[in-house]
Amino acid sequence: MTIRRRDIAALGVAATGLAAAAAIARPALAQPKPGDSTWELIKKNGAVRMGVFEYPPYFVRNKTSGEWEGAMVEMGKDIANELKVKFVPVEVGGFAEAVLSLHASKVDMNFGLQATPVRAAAIDFAGPIYWIEWVTVNNPNFKGRDWADYNKENVKVAVMTGTSDELLLRKMAPKATRVEFKLIADVALAVSSGRADAFTTTVLASMVMKQKNPALGDFVNPKPRVALPGYIGLRLEEDQRWQKFLNRWAEWNILLGHNERRMREALAKDGLEVPSTVSFSPN
């Protein structure tokens, strides 16, 4: 794998004034009524809300403009464009809040989720929108190569709490000692500092974290290979129009290669070259 590096790189006394200015800059959205479906709410507001948080290359806040960028953001913008409505990114507390933010009607869709059995009992899904491989990144002093090497009580593996990373580790290396963090940056820091022997996450996040943390060790594709589809999370509701729209959007964008392109372009912005062996499509 070739990795090219590119540097990725207060509250004030007028907080009340800033809040008022922000409220003026962003039009107020209609509050959902008990009978409103997501589809009806999107049409009523003329806007579609997408959950975002710092997780490159899916979601990245541009340090200069303050705007949200990334592969999933580009997908969200395309959905808004197809609907001829405004795209509204809404900050949420990571993947761990994927279900809660939907239940609270804080967002209309959350991207990059795996349709786990537990989640499927709480929310609905559309897609898949891509396929993604799970890999590991080791501390330089740890030489794990297969899942069996990680599946030991004396091996500490860092993961993001409430994510598919955690679930996958439980399945592939149940004996490993899990070290859990809320943010991917803290996961990587735990491994580079020696508090954990390795971390597991998607190939995308692993590439970005290894680029940002030169002190990390080997990038590994453990055997057996694990690749799962990524979905859009939605509220469970009787009105199926929103889910039907997103299913067809996902199908077209996968088959035409648009989502594969968006993933590769997002990585290229961070100076990363995707290996030819890595694909974000089903084949």
Peptide bond connecting 89 to the previous residue in cis, omega within 30 degrees of 0? no
Protein fold of 36-131+228-269 = D-Maltodextrin-Binding Protein; domain 2 (3.40.190)
Joined tokens for residue 48: 């579609």
Dihedral Cα 276, 199, 57, 93, nearest 10 deg: 160
* pLDDT score recorded for residue 283: 61
d(CA 92, CA 175) in angstroms, rounded, equals 31
- Mean pLDDT score, 117-136: 92
Our CA angle for 115, 111, 222, nearest 5°, is 60
Residue 9 has pLDDT above 70, yes or no: no
The answer to whether residue 5 scores a pLDDT higher than 50 is no
Q: Is the pLDDT assigned to residue 156 strictly greater than 80? A: yes
Q: Is the pLDDT of residue 15 over 60?
A: no
Domain 36-131+228-269 and domain 133-227 have a common topology: yes
Domain chopping of the chain, boundaries: 36-131+228-269, 133-227
Residues 235-264, mean pLDDT to the nearest whole number:
95
Q: Tell me, what's the pLDDT at 201?
A: 92
Q: 251: burial class by Cβ within 10 Å (0-12, 13-18, 19+)?
A: middle
Q: How far is residue 136 from each of residues 45, 68, 78, measured CA to CA in Å?
A: 42, 27, 32
Global pTM? 0.71
- Angstrom distance (rounded) from CA 28 to CA 88: 11
* Mean pLDDT along residues 254-270: 90
Superfamily of domain 133-227: Periplasmic binding protein-like II (3.40.190.10)
pLDDT averaged over the chain?
86
| pLDDT for the residue 33 | 64
